[in-house]
Structure 1
Amino acid sequence: MLNVPRRLYSEGVQKQRDEPAAGNEPSHTKDTPGRPITKNIEAARESTRVVREKVLSALPNLSPHENIYNLPNFLTVSRLIAAPATAYLLLHDHHKWALALFAYAGITDLVDGWIARKWKLQTVAGSVIDPMADKALMIILTVTLAVKGAIPLSLATLILGRDASLALAAIYYRYASLPAPKTLQRYWDFSLPSAEVHPTTVSKYNTFLQLILIGSTLTLPVITSGGEYASLLQHLGGSDEMLRTGMTAFQCLVAGTTAWSGLSYAFLKNAVTILGENEELKAKQGARGRAIIGVTFGGVVAYAVWLALTHDAEGASESDQIGTAKDDR
Protein backbone atom coordinates (compact mmCIF):
# COMPACT_ATOMS: atom_id res chain seq x y z
CA MET A 1 0.00 0.00 0.00
CA LEU A 2 1.27 3.49 -0.89
CA ASN A 3 2.32 5.41 2.21
CA VAL A 4 0.82 8.87 1.72
CA PRO A 5 2.81 11.64 3.44
CA ARG A 6 0.90 12.96 6.49
CA ARG A 7 0.94 16.56 5.22
CA LEU A 8 -0.60 15.65 1.85
CA TYR A 9 -3.21 13.42 3.50
CA SER A 10 -4.19 16.17 5.94
CA GLU A 11 -4.58 18.66 3.07
CA GLY A 12 -6.89 16.26 1.24
CA VAL A 13 -9.01 15.60 4.31
CA GLN A 14 -9.23 19.31 5.10
CA LYS A 15 -10.24 20.02 1.49
CA GLN A 16 -12.95 17.40 1.81
CA ARG A 17 -14.26 19.05 4.97
CA ASP A 18 -14.05 22.68 3.88
CA GLU A 19 -14.93 22.57 0.15
CA PRO A 20 -18.29 21.07 -0.91
CA ALA A 21 -18.34 19.13 -4.14
CA ALA A 22 -19.38 20.90 -7.34
CA GLY A 23 -23.17 21.25 -7.52
CA ASN A 24 -23.72 20.40 -3.85
CA GLU A 25 -25.92 22.54 -1.72
CA PRO A 26 -24.55 24.15 1.45
CA SER A 27 -24.26 21.82 4.42
CA HIS A 28 -27.14 23.55 6.25
CA THR A 29 -29.56 22.91 3.34
CA LYS A 30 -31.84 19.94 3.77
CA ASP A 31 -31.16 17.26 1.12
CA THR A 32 -33.62 14.97 -0.54
CA PRO A 33 -33.58 11.31 0.53
CA GLY A 34 -30.70 9.30 -1.10
CA ARG A 35 -28.68 12.34 -2.24
CA PRO A 36 -26.39 12.81 0.81
CA ILE A 37 -24.69 9.41 0.32
CA THR A 38 -24.06 10.06 -3.38
CA LYS A 39 -22.68 13.52 -2.68
CA ASN A 40 -20.36 12.20 0.02
CA ILE A 41 -19.01 9.50 -2.30
CA GLU A 42 -18.32 12.04 -5.05
CA ALA A 43 -16.58 14.37 -2.59
CA ALA A 44 -14.43 11.49 -1.30
CA ARG A 45 -13.42 10.54 -4.84
CA GLU A 46 -12.47 14.13 -5.63
CA SER A 47 -10.37 14.50 -2.48
CA THR A 48 -8.69 11.13 -3.17
CA ARG A 49 -7.82 12.27 -6.69
CA VAL A 50 -6.28 15.50 -5.36
CA VAL A 51 -4.21 13.63 -2.78
CA ARG A 52 -3.07 11.06 -5.35
CA GLU A 53 -1.92 13.76 -7.77
CA LYS A 54 0.02 15.56 -5.05
CA VAL A 55 1.69 12.33 -3.91
CA LEU A 56 2.71 11.37 -7.44
CA SER A 57 4.11 14.83 -8.11
CA ALA A 58 6.12 14.66 -4.88
CA LEU A 59 7.64 11.21 -5.50
CA PRO A 60 10.42 12.35 -7.90
CA ASN A 61 11.64 14.80 -5.28
CA LEU A 62 11.48 12.23 -2.49
CA SER A 63 13.54 9.55 -4.29
CA PRO A 64 15.51 10.93 -7.26
CA HIS A 65 17.31 8.30 -9.34
CA GLU A 66 19.56 8.59 -12.37
CA ASN A 67 19.13 6.36 -15.37
CA ILE A 68 22.58 4.78 -15.38
CA TYR A 69 21.63 2.13 -17.94
CA ASN A 70 22.60 4.04 -21.06
CA LEU A 71 25.04 3.55 -23.93
CA PRO A 72 27.88 5.80 -22.65
CA ASN A 73 27.99 3.99 -19.31
CA PHE A 74 27.86 0.63 -21.07
CA LEU A 75 30.87 1.59 -23.19
CA THR A 76 32.73 2.83 -20.11
CA VAL A 77 32.11 -0.44 -18.25
CA SER A 78 33.24 -2.42 -21.28
CA ARG A 79 36.45 -0.38 -21.30
CA LEU A 80 36.93 -1.19 -17.63
CA ILE A 81 36.62 -4.89 -18.45
CA ALA A 82 38.98 -4.52 -21.42
CA ALA A 83 41.93 -3.60 -19.17
CA PRO A 84 42.44 -7.04 -17.52
CA ALA A 85 41.43 -8.78 -20.76
CA THR A 86 44.20 -6.94 -22.64
CA ALA A 87 46.70 -7.89 -19.94
CA TYR A 88 45.67 -11.54 -20.23
CA LEU A 89 46.20 -11.47 -24.00
CA LEU A 90 49.62 -9.88 -23.54
CA LEU A 91 50.75 -12.48 -21.02
CA HIS A 92 49.84 -15.21 -23.51
CA ASP A 93 51.56 -13.40 -26.44
CA HIS A 94 48.39 -12.66 -28.38
CA HIS A 95 49.77 -9.31 -29.46
CA LYS A 96 47.36 -8.58 -32.31
CA TRP A 97 44.29 -9.19 -30.16
CA ALA A 98 45.79 -7.16 -27.33
CA LEU A 99 46.44 -4.27 -29.70
CA ALA A 100 42.91 -4.49 -31.10
CA LEU A 101 41.39 -4.43 -27.61
CA PHE A 102 43.55 -1.45 -26.65
CA ALA A 103 42.41 0.36 -29.80
CA TYR A 104 38.79 -0.41 -28.84
CA ALA A 105 39.39 1.10 -25.40
CA GLY A 106 40.86 4.25 -26.92
CA ILE A 107 38.02 4.69 -29.41
CA THR A 108 35.27 4.11 -26.86
CA ASP A 109 36.94 6.60 -24.51
CA LEU A 110 36.29 9.28 -27.13
CA VAL A 111 32.90 8.00 -28.29
CA ASP A 112 31.19 7.59 -24.89
CA GLY A 113 31.97 11.15 -23.87
CA TRP A 114 30.72 12.52 -27.19
CA ILE A 115 27.48 10.53 -26.94
CA ALA A 116 26.90 11.62 -23.34
CA ARG A 117 27.33 15.30 -24.25
CA LYS A 118 25.40 15.08 -27.51
CA TRP A 119 22.29 13.47 -26.04
CA LYS A 120 22.68 14.78 -22.47
CA LEU A 121 23.25 11.36 -20.91
CA GLN A 122 25.83 12.47 -18.33
CA THR A 123 25.46 10.76 -14.94
CA VAL A 124 27.31 10.93 -11.65
CA ALA A 125 28.12 7.23 -11.96
CA GLY A 126 29.63 7.82 -15.39
CA SER A 127 31.79 10.67 -14.11
CA VAL A 128 33.23 8.26 -11.51
CA ILE A 129 33.80 5.11 -13.57
CA ASP A 130 35.14 6.92 -16.67
CA PRO A 131 38.44 8.10 -15.11
CA MET A 132 38.53 4.84 -13.14
CA ALA A 133 38.52 2.88 -16.41
CA ASP A 134 41.26 5.06 -17.90
CA LYS A 135 43.47 4.72 -14.84
CA ALA A 136 42.86 0.97 -14.58
CA LEU A 137 43.88 0.52 -18.22
CA MET A 138 47.09 2.52 -17.72
CA ILE A 139 48.11 0.83 -14.47
CA ILE A 140 47.33 -2.76 -15.53
CA LEU A 141 49.06 -2.45 -18.90
CA THR A 142 52.09 -0.71 -17.38
CA VAL A 143 52.55 -3.55 -14.90
CA THR A 144 52.00 -6.20 -17.57
CA LEU A 145 54.43 -4.64 -20.05
CA ALA A 146 57.05 -4.30 -17.31
CA VAL A 147 56.62 -7.98 -16.37
CA LYS A 148 57.02 -8.96 -20.03
CA GLY A 149 60.12 -6.78 -20.32
CA ALA A 150 58.54 -4.61 -23.02
CA ILE A 151 59.21 -1.39 -21.07
CA PRO A 152 62.03 -0.74 -18.59
CA LEU A 153 61.32 -1.35 -14.92
CA SER A 154 62.54 2.15 -14.11
CA LEU A 155 59.92 3.71 -16.41
CA ALA A 156 57.13 1.57 -14.94
CA THR A 157 58.28 2.63 -11.46
CA LEU A 158 58.02 6.30 -12.44
CA ILE A 159 54.55 5.94 -13.95
CA LEU A 160 53.11 3.95 -11.06
CA GLY A 161 54.98 5.92 -8.38
CA ARG A 162 53.64 9.22 -9.70
CA ASP A 163 50.03 8.00 -9.43
CA ALA A 164 50.63 6.58 -5.96
CA SER A 165 52.26 9.80 -4.74
CA LEU A 166 49.42 11.98 -6.06
CA ALA A 167 46.83 9.62 -4.56
CA LEU A 168 48.53 9.87 -1.15
CA ALA A 169 48.55 13.66 -1.36
CA ALA A 170 44.88 13.65 -2.41
CA ILE A 171 43.98 11.67 0.72
CA TYR A 172 45.73 14.29 2.87
CA TYR A 173 44.17 17.23 1.02
CA ARG A 174 40.70 15.76 1.43
CA TYR A 175 41.07 15.12 5.15
CA ALA A 176 42.89 18.37 6.02
CA SER A 177 40.49 20.66 4.13
CA LEU A 178 37.25 18.87 5.08
CA PRO A 179 35.07 21.15 7.26
CA ALA A 180 34.46 19.91 10.80
CA PRO A 181 33.32 17.47 11.98
CA LYS A 182 35.81 15.17 10.23
CA THR A 183 33.94 11.87 10.16
CA LEU A 184 34.35 8.91 7.84
CA GLN A 185 30.87 9.43 6.42
CA ARG A 186 31.56 13.08 5.65
CA TYR A 187 34.96 12.18 4.18
CA TRP A 188 33.31 10.08 1.46
CA ASP A 189 30.46 12.54 0.96
CA PHE A 190 31.74 14.32 -2.16
CA SER A 191 28.80 16.71 -2.08
CA LEU A 192 30.94 18.49 0.54
CA PRO A 193 33.67 20.09 -1.59
CA SER A 194 36.97 20.79 0.13
CA ALA A 195 39.72 21.04 -2.49
CA GLU A 196 40.01 21.37 -6.26
CA VAL A 197 42.83 19.88 -8.35
CA HIS A 198 43.90 21.72 -11.50
CA PRO A 199 45.96 19.45 -13.79
CA THR A 200 49.16 21.17 -14.86
CA THR A 201 49.95 21.69 -18.53
CA VAL A 202 52.85 19.25 -18.52
CA SER A 203 50.61 16.69 -16.80
CA LYS A 204 48.12 16.83 -19.67
CA TYR A 205 50.87 16.32 -22.25
CA ASN A 206 52.36 13.53 -20.15
CA THR A 207 49.07 11.62 -20.05
CA PHE A 208 48.84 11.79 -23.85
CA LEU A 209 52.45 10.65 -24.27
CA GLN A 210 51.94 7.74 -21.89
CA LEU A 211 48.98 6.51 -23.95
CA ILE A 212 51.06 6.79 -27.13
CA LEU A 213 53.84 4.85 -25.40
CA ILE A 214 51.51 2.01 -24.39
CA GLY A 215 50.00 1.86 -27.88
CA SER A 216 53.35 1.88 -29.68
CA THR A 217 54.74 -0.76 -27.30
CA LEU A 218 51.79 -3.00 -28.15
CA THR A 219 52.31 -2.32 -31.87
CA LEU A 220 56.04 -3.06 -31.96
CA PRO A 221 55.87 -6.89 -31.66
CA VAL A 222 53.09 -6.98 -34.26
CA ILE A 223 55.33 -5.21 -36.78
CA THR A 224 58.57 -7.05 -35.97
CA SER A 225 57.04 -10.54 -35.82
CA GLY A 226 57.38 -10.99 -39.58
CA GLY A 227 54.81 -11.25 -42.33
CA GLU A 228 53.32 -8.43 -44.35
CA TYR A 229 54.08 -5.77 -41.74
CA ALA A 230 57.79 -6.61 -41.71
CA SER A 231 57.86 -6.56 -45.53
CA LEU A 232 56.18 -3.16 -45.53
CA LEU A 233 58.72 -1.89 -43.01
CA GLN A 234 61.62 -3.04 -45.19
CA HIS A 235 59.97 -1.52 -48.24
CA LEU A 236 59.87 1.84 -46.44
CA GLY A 237 63.56 1.57 -45.63
CA GLY A 238 63.13 0.80 -41.96
CA SER A 239 64.41 -2.02 -39.77
CA ASP A 240 63.70 -3.69 -36.45
CA GLU A 241 66.80 -2.13 -34.94
CA MET A 242 65.68 1.33 -36.02
CA LEU A 243 62.28 0.81 -34.39
CA ARG A 244 63.82 -0.38 -31.12
CA THR A 245 66.19 2.59 -31.04
CA GLY A 246 63.30 4.98 -31.61
CA MET A 247 61.28 3.26 -28.91
CA THR A 248 64.14 3.63 -26.43
CA ALA A 249 64.36 7.35 -27.17
CA PHE A 250 60.60 7.73 -26.74
CA GLN A 251 60.75 5.87 -23.42
CA CYS A 252 63.36 8.37 -22.20
CA LEU A 253 61.07 11.24 -23.26
CA VAL A 254 58.10 9.78 -21.35
CA ALA A 255 60.28 9.18 -18.30
CA GLY A 256 61.28 12.85 -18.35
CA THR A 257 57.71 14.17 -18.72
CA THR A 258 56.48 11.78 -16.00
CA ALA A 259 59.10 13.01 -13.53
CA TRP A 260 58.44 16.64 -14.51
CA SER A 261 54.65 16.34 -14.23
CA GLY A 262 54.82 14.66 -10.83
CA LEU A 263 57.24 17.19 -9.36
CA SER A 264 55.22 20.08 -10.80
CA TYR A 265 52.51 19.35 -8.20
CA ALA A 266 55.18 19.75 -5.51
CA PHE A 267 56.31 23.19 -6.68
CA LEU A 268 53.28 24.90 -8.23
CA LYS A 269 51.04 26.47 -5.57
CA ASN A 270 48.04 26.88 -7.90
CA ALA A 271 47.86 23.19 -8.83
CA VAL A 272 45.55 22.55 -5.86
CA THR A 273 43.00 25.06 -4.56
CA ILE A 274 41.84 24.49 -0.98
CA LEU A 275 38.39 25.87 -0.26
CA GLY A 276 37.75 27.89 2.86
CA GLU A 277 38.17 31.36 4.36
CA ASN A 278 41.19 30.89 6.67
CA GLU A 279 44.00 31.89 4.34
CA GLU A 280 46.76 31.10 6.86
CA LEU A 281 45.45 27.58 7.43
CA LYS A 282 45.00 27.05 3.69
CA ALA A 283 48.61 28.08 3.09
CA LYS A 284 49.86 25.57 5.69
CA GLN A 285 47.72 22.76 4.28
CA GLY A 286 48.91 23.49 0.74
CA ALA A 287 52.57 23.49 1.83
CA ARG A 288 52.15 20.17 3.65
CA GLY A 289 50.44 18.58 0.65
CA ARG A 290 53.20 19.72 -1.70
CA ALA A 291 55.77 18.42 0.77
CA ILE A 292 54.10 14.99 0.72
CA ILE A 293 54.37 14.89 -3.08
CA GLY A 294 57.94 16.20 -3.05
CA VAL A 295 59.18 13.65 -0.52
CA THR A 296 57.30 10.60 -1.80
CA PHE A 297 57.72 11.19 -5.52
CA GLY A 298 61.25 12.49 -5.04
CA GLY A 299 62.07 9.11 -3.51
CA VAL A 300 60.39 7.38 -6.46
CA VAL A 301 62.49 9.36 -8.95
CA ALA A 302 65.69 8.50 -7.07
CA TYR A 303 64.78 4.80 -6.99
CA ALA A 304 63.91 4.85 -10.71
CA VAL A 305 67.30 6.36 -11.54
CA TRP A 306 68.99 3.63 -9.51
CA LEU A 307 66.99 0.98 -11.38
CA ALA A 308 67.94 2.53 -14.72
CA LEU A 309 71.64 2.43 -13.83
CA THR A 310 71.61 -1.10 -12.45
CA HIS A 311 68.70 -3.35 -13.44
CA ASP A 312 67.85 -1.83 -16.84
CA ALA A 313 71.51 -1.44 -17.82
CA GLU A 314 72.21 -5.10 -17.04
CA GLY A 315 69.17 -6.18 -19.03
CA ALA A 316 70.29 -4.11 -22.02
CA SER A 317 73.81 -5.60 -21.96
CA GLU A 318 72.37 -9.15 -21.80
CA SER A 319 70.16 -8.39 -24.82
CA ASP A 320 73.17 -7.11 -26.74
CA GLN A 321 75.11 -10.30 -25.94
CA ILE A 322 72.23 -12.46 -27.13
CA GLY A 323 71.96 -10.44 -30.33
CA THR A 324 75.73 -10.76 -30.97
CA ALA A 325 75.58 -14.53 -30.44
CA LYS A 326 72.78 -14.83 -32.98
CA ASP A 327 74.73 -12.79 -35.52
CA ASP A 328 77.80 -15.03 -35.10
CA ARG A 329 75.71 -18.07 -35.87
Structure 2
Amino acid sequence: MITITGIVKVSNSEEGQSSFKITVYRYENPWTIPNFLCMARIGLSPVLGYLIVEKEFNLSLGLFFLAGITDLLDGYIARNWANQKSALGSALDPLADKILISVLYISLTYAQLIPVPLTAMIISRDVALIAAVFYVRYKTVPPPRTLSKFFNPCYATAQLKPTFISKVNTAVQLVLVAASLAAPVFQYADSMFLQTLWYITAMTTAASAYSYYHYGKKTVQVLNHTK
Protein backbone atom coordinates (compact mmCIF):
# COMPACT_ATOMS: atom_id res chain seq x y z
CA MET A 1 0.00 0.00 0.00
CA ILE A 2 1.43 3.37 -1.07
CA THR A 3 0.17 6.72 0.21
CA ILE A 4 0.20 9.55 -2.34
CA THR A 5 -0.32 13.23 -1.62
CA GLY A 6 -1.80 15.59 -4.19
CA ILE A 7 -1.90 19.38 -3.85
CA VAL A 8 -4.70 21.34 -5.47
CA LYS A 9 -4.63 25.16 -5.72
CA VAL A 10 -8.00 26.82 -5.01
CA SER A 11 -8.51 30.49 -5.92
CA ASN A 12 -10.99 32.82 -4.28
CA SER A 13 -11.97 35.35 -6.98
CA GLU A 14 -13.76 37.71 -4.57
CA GLU A 15 -10.87 38.11 -2.12
CA GLY A 16 -8.09 37.67 -4.67
CA GLN A 17 -6.47 35.00 -2.53
CA SER A 18 -5.39 31.46 -3.20
CA SER A 19 -5.35 28.47 -0.87
CA PHE A 20 -4.12 24.94 -1.17
CA LYS A 21 -5.92 21.69 -0.44
CA ILE A 22 -3.88 18.56 0.17
CA THR A 23 -5.57 15.31 -0.83
CA VAL A 24 -4.10 12.11 0.57
CA TYR A 25 -5.10 8.88 -1.13
CA ARG A 26 -3.87 5.33 -1.41
CA TYR A 27 -2.36 3.51 -4.33
CA GLU A 28 -2.31 -0.27 -3.94
CA ASN A 29 -1.47 -3.44 -5.81
CA PRO A 30 -4.80 -4.97 -6.91
CA TRP A 31 -3.30 -8.23 -8.18
CA THR A 32 -3.88 -10.33 -5.07
CA ILE A 33 -4.97 -13.97 -4.80
CA PRO A 34 -8.39 -13.08 -3.29
CA ASN A 35 -9.05 -10.66 -6.16
CA PHE A 36 -8.10 -13.33 -8.72
CA LEU A 37 -10.49 -15.75 -6.99
CA CYS A 38 -13.25 -13.13 -7.17
CA MET A 39 -12.63 -12.69 -10.90
CA ALA A 40 -12.71 -16.47 -11.34
CA ARG A 41 -16.12 -16.50 -9.64
CA ILE A 42 -17.34 -13.80 -12.01
CA GLY A 43 -16.01 -15.84 -14.96
CA LEU A 44 -17.88 -18.93 -13.76
CA SER A 45 -21.20 -17.06 -13.63
CA PRO A 46 -22.12 -17.15 -17.37
CA VAL A 47 -20.95 -20.78 -17.61
CA LEU A 48 -23.27 -21.72 -14.77
CA GLY A 49 -26.12 -19.74 -16.33
CA TYR A 50 -25.70 -21.56 -19.65
CA LEU A 51 -25.62 -24.99 -17.98
CA ILE A 52 -28.80 -24.24 -16.01
CA VAL A 53 -30.65 -23.05 -19.13
CA GLU A 54 -29.53 -26.27 -20.87
CA LYS A 55 -30.80 -28.20 -17.80
CA GLU A 56 -27.40 -29.69 -17.00
CA PHE A 57 -28.20 -29.62 -13.29
CA ASN A 58 -25.66 -32.21 -12.13
CA LEU A 59 -22.72 -30.35 -13.67
CA SER A 60 -24.04 -26.92 -12.68
CA LEU A 61 -24.44 -28.09 -9.08
CA GLY A 62 -20.79 -29.19 -9.02
CA LEU A 63 -19.57 -25.90 -10.52
CA PHE A 64 -21.70 -23.95 -8.06
CA PHE A 65 -19.93 -25.62 -5.14
CA LEU A 66 -16.59 -24.83 -6.83
CA ALA A 67 -17.64 -21.16 -6.97
CA GLY A 68 -18.55 -21.41 -3.27
CA ILE A 69 -15.07 -22.73 -2.47
CA THR A 70 -13.48 -19.71 -4.21
CA ASP A 71 -15.70 -17.46 -2.07
CA LEU A 72 -14.56 -19.12 1.15
CA LEU A 73 -10.92 -19.11 0.07
CA ASP A 74 -10.72 -15.43 -0.90
CA GLY A 75 -12.24 -14.40 2.43
CA TYR A 76 -9.93 -16.69 4.42
CA ILE A 77 -6.78 -15.49 2.62
CA ALA A 78 -7.72 -11.79 2.94
CA ARG A 79 -8.38 -12.17 6.68
CA ASN A 80 -5.16 -14.04 7.46
CA TRP A 81 -2.58 -12.35 5.21
CA ALA A 82 -2.39 -8.57 5.48
CA ASN A 83 -0.64 -8.15 2.13
CA GLN A 84 -3.54 -9.93 0.41
CA LYS A 85 -6.18 -7.56 1.77
CA SER A 86 -7.18 -4.63 -0.44
CA ALA A 87 -9.81 -1.92 -0.75
CA LEU A 88 -10.58 -3.26 -4.22
CA GLY A 89 -11.28 -6.65 -2.69
CA SER A 90 -13.82 -5.13 -0.30
CA ALA A 91 -15.84 -4.07 -3.35
CA LEU A 92 -14.91 -6.91 -5.74
CA ASP A 93 -15.97 -9.71 -3.37
CA PRO A 94 -19.60 -8.56 -2.92
CA LEU A 95 -19.73 -7.56 -6.60
CA ALA A 96 -18.69 -11.09 -7.61
CA ASP A 97 -21.38 -12.49 -5.29
CA LYS A 98 -24.02 -10.21 -6.80
CA ILE A 99 -23.07 -11.09 -10.38
CA LEU A 100 -23.08 -14.80 -9.57
CA ILE A 101 -26.37 -14.60 -7.69
CA SER A 102 -28.04 -12.49 -10.38
CA VAL A 103 -27.04 -14.87 -13.18
CA LEU A 104 -28.08 -17.91 -11.16
CA TYR A 105 -31.45 -16.48 -10.16
CA ILE A 106 -32.28 -15.41 -13.71
CA SER A 107 -31.28 -18.83 -15.04
CA LEU A 108 -33.18 -20.71 -12.34
CA THR A 109 -36.24 -18.56 -12.98
CA TYR A 110 -35.99 -19.43 -16.69
CA ALA A 111 -35.83 -23.09 -15.64
CA GLN A 112 -38.99 -22.48 -13.52
CA LEU A 113 -37.28 -23.37 -10.26
CA ILE A 114 -37.48 -19.89 -8.66
CA PRO A 115 -40.51 -17.54 -8.96
CA VAL A 116 -40.25 -14.38 -11.10
CA PRO A 117 -41.24 -11.89 -8.33
CA LEU A 118 -38.46 -13.10 -6.03
CA THR A 119 -35.83 -12.81 -8.77
CA ALA A 120 -37.07 -9.34 -9.73
CA MET A 121 -36.79 -8.27 -6.08
CA ILE A 122 -33.22 -9.55 -5.77
CA ILE A 123 -32.06 -8.05 -9.08
CA SER A 124 -33.60 -4.65 -8.23
CA ARG A 125 -31.78 -4.54 -4.89
CA ASP A 126 -28.46 -5.52 -6.46
CA VAL A 127 -28.76 -2.97 -9.27
CA ALA A 128 -29.43 -0.24 -6.70
CA LEU A 129 -26.40 -1.28 -4.62
CA ILE A 130 -24.08 -1.44 -7.65
CA ALA A 131 -25.25 2.03 -8.69
CA ALA A 132 -24.48 3.28 -5.18
CA VAL A 133 -20.97 1.75 -5.35
CA PHE A 134 -20.27 3.55 -8.64
CA TYR A 135 -21.50 6.81 -7.11
CA VAL A 136 -19.21 6.41 -4.09
CA ARG A 137 -16.31 5.60 -6.39
CA TYR A 138 -16.97 8.74 -8.44
CA LYS A 139 -17.16 10.96 -5.35
CA THR A 140 -13.95 9.58 -3.81
CA VAL A 141 -11.65 9.47 -6.86
CA PRO A 142 -9.09 12.29 -6.46
CA PRO A 143 -9.46 15.19 -8.93
CA PRO A 144 -9.14 15.64 -11.79
CA ARG A 145 -11.62 12.79 -12.30
CA THR A 146 -11.00 10.84 -15.50
CA LEU A 147 -12.33 7.53 -16.82
CA SER A 148 -8.87 5.96 -16.68
CA LYS A 149 -8.51 6.98 -13.03
CA PHE A 150 -12.09 5.94 -12.21
CA PHE A 151 -11.54 2.40 -13.54
CA ASN A 152 -7.94 2.09 -12.35
CA PRO A 153 -8.07 -0.61 -9.63
CA CYS A 154 -4.82 0.68 -8.10
CA TYR A 155 -6.54 3.78 -6.72
CA ALA A 156 -7.91 2.73 -3.34
CA THR A 157 -10.47 5.41 -2.55
CA ALA A 158 -13.08 3.72 -0.37
CA GLN A 159 -13.64 0.48 1.50
CA LEU A 160 -17.07 -1.11 1.78
CA LYS A 161 -18.39 -2.64 4.99
CA PRO A 162 -21.43 -4.87 4.37
CA THR A 163 -24.04 -4.89 7.10
CA PHE A 164 -24.59 -8.03 9.18
CA ILE A 165 -28.03 -8.69 7.69
CA SER A 166 -26.53 -8.31 4.21
CA LYS A 167 -24.07 -11.12 4.96
CA VAL A 168 -26.93 -13.25 6.27
CA ASN A 169 -28.97 -12.44 3.17
CA THR A 170 -26.15 -13.51 0.83
CA ALA A 171 -25.86 -16.82 2.69
CA VAL A 172 -29.64 -17.39 2.50
CA GLN A 173 -29.71 -16.56 -1.22
CA LEU A 174 -26.90 -19.02 -1.89
CA VAL A 175 -28.65 -21.72 0.15
CA LEU A 176 -31.75 -21.25 -2.01
CA VAL A 177 -29.63 -21.51 -5.17
CA ALA A 178 -28.03 -24.75 -3.94
CA ALA A 179 -31.42 -26.18 -2.95
CA SER A 180 -32.96 -25.17 -6.30
CA LEU A 181 -30.08 -26.69 -8.30
CA ALA A 182 -30.35 -29.92 -6.30
CA ALA A 183 -34.16 -30.07 -6.62
CA PRO A 184 -34.34 -31.62 -10.12
CA VAL A 185 -31.41 -33.92 -9.29
CA PHE A 186 -33.05 -35.30 -6.13
CA GLN A 187 -36.66 -34.87 -7.28
CA TYR A 188 -38.12 -32.35 -4.81
CA ALA A 189 -38.84 -29.38 -7.10
CA ASP A 190 -42.42 -28.93 -5.83
CA SER A 191 -41.67 -29.35 -2.14
CA MET A 192 -42.79 -27.12 0.72
CA PHE A 193 -39.12 -26.84 1.69
CA LEU A 194 -38.30 -24.83 -1.43
CA GLN A 195 -41.37 -22.63 -1.07
CA THR A 196 -40.43 -21.84 2.53
CA LEU A 197 -36.96 -20.85 1.36
CA TRP A 198 -38.56 -18.46 -1.16
CA TYR A 199 -40.31 -16.53 1.62
CA ILE A 200 -37.26 -16.52 3.89
CA THR A 201 -35.10 -15.19 1.03
CA ALA A 202 -37.64 -12.48 0.25
CA MET A 203 -37.62 -11.33 3.88
CA THR A 204 -33.83 -11.24 4.22
CA THR A 205 -33.50 -9.43 0.87
CA ALA A 206 -35.95 -6.74 2.00
CA ALA A 207 -34.21 -6.46 5.39
CA SER A 208 -30.81 -6.15 3.72
CA ALA A 209 -32.01 -3.39 1.38
CA TYR A 210 -33.44 -1.48 4.35
CA SER A 211 -30.21 -1.88 6.36
CA TYR A 212 -28.21 -0.16 3.61
CA TYR A 213 -30.80 2.61 3.41
CA HIS A 214 -30.83 3.04 7.19
CA TYR A 215 -27.08 2.93 7.86
CA GLY A 216 -26.02 4.64 4.63
CA LYS A 217 -22.60 6.25 5.06
CA LYS A 218 -21.65 3.92 7.91
CA THR A 219 -21.16 1.13 5.36
CA VAL A 220 -18.46 3.10 3.50
CA GLN A 221 -15.02 4.06 4.80
CA VAL A 222 -13.41 6.79 2.68
CA LEU A 223 -9.66 6.18 2.42
CA ASN A 224 -8.58 9.43 0.78
CA HIS A 225 -9.14 12.72 2.56
CA THR A 226 -8.60 16.40 1.96
CA LYS A 227 -6.76 18.81 4.27
Common fold by TM > 0.5: yes
CA contact under 8 A between 2:29 and 2:154: conserved in structure 1? no
What residue number does 1:157 align with?
Answer: 120
Deviates more, 1:249-258 or 1:74-83: 74-83
What residue number does 2:70 align with?
Answer: 108
Alignment deviations for residues 204-252 of structure 1 (CA, whole Å, 9 cap, x no partner): 110111111111111111111xxxxxxxxxxxxxxx48x6212112111
1:150 deviates by 1.0
What residue number does 1:271 align with?
Answer: 219
Q: For residues 125 and 260 of structure 1, do their structure 2 counterparts lie closer, same or farther at Cα, with a shift above 3 Å needed?
A: closer
CA contact under 8 A between 2:87 and 2:157: conserved in structure 1? no
* Structure 1 segment 192-271 matched on structure 2, within 5 A: 194-224=157-187, 240=188, 244-269=191-216, 270-271=218-219
Matched residue of 1:170: which SS? Answer: helix
Using the alignment, how far apart are the partners of 2:176 and 2:168 within structure 1? Answer: 12
1:75 deviates by 5.5
1:186 deviates by 3.7
Q: For residues 120 and 191 of structure 1, do their structure 2 counterparts lie closer, same or farther at Cα, with a shift above 3 Å needed?
A: closer
Q: Max radius of gyration: which structure?
A: 1
Using the alignment, how far apart are the partners of 2:139 and 2:130 within structure 1? Answer: 14
Using the alignment, how far apart are the partners of 1:118 and 1:273 within structure 2? Answer: 21
* Structure 1 segment 58-137 matched on structure 2, within 5 A: 78-114=40-76, 122=84, 127=89, 131-137=94-100
CA contact under 8 A between 1:90 and 1:144: conserved in structure 2? yes
Alignment RMSD (CA, Å) = 3.6
Matched residue of 1:268: which SS? Answer: helix
Amino acid at match of 1:169: A
CA contact under 8 A between 1:143 and 1:156: conserved in structure 2? yes
Q: Percent of aligned positions with the same letter in both sequences?
A: 35
Using the alignment, how far apart are the partners of 1:67 and 1:178 within structure 2? Answer: 20
What residue number does 2:15 align with?
Answer: none
1 or 2, which has the higher helix percentage? 1
Alignment deviations for residues 110-151 of structure 1 (CA, whole Å, 9 cap, x no partner): 235546776888386993765554333212111101111211
Alignment deviations for residues 266-322 of structure 1 (CA, whole Å, 9 cap, x no partner): 2224233456569xxxxxxxxxxxxxxxxxxxxxxxxxxxxxxxxxxxxxxxxxxxx
Amino acid at match of 1:145: L
TM-score norm. by structure 1 comes to 0.50
What residue number does 2:133 align with?
Answer: 170
Amino acid at match of 2:147: L
Amino acid at match of 2:70: T
Q: For residues 145 and 196 of structure 1, do their structure 2 counterparts lie closer, same or farther at Cα, with a shift above 3 Å needed?
A: same
Amino acid at match of 1:141: L
* Structure 1 segment 275-286 matched on structure 2, within 5 A: 276=225
CA contact under 8 A between 1:115 and 1:121: conserved in structure 2? no
CA contact under 8 A between 1:209 and 1:254: conserved in structure 2? yes
Using the alignment, how far apart are the partners of 2:35 and 2:142 within structure 1? Answer: 32
1 or 2, which has the higher strand percentage? 2
Q: 5+ unaligned residues in a row in structure 1: which ranges?
A: 1-63, 225-239, 279-329
Using the alignment, how far apart are the partners of 1:123 and 1:67 within structure 2? Answer: 10
What residue number does 1:13 align with?
Answer: none
Matched residue of 2:84: which SS? Answer: coil
Q: Which has the higher contact order (CA 8 A, sep 6+)?
A: 2
TM-score norm. by structure 2 comes to 0.69
Aligned residues: 197
Using the alignment, how far apart are the partners of 1:262 and 1:142 within structure 2? Answer: 17
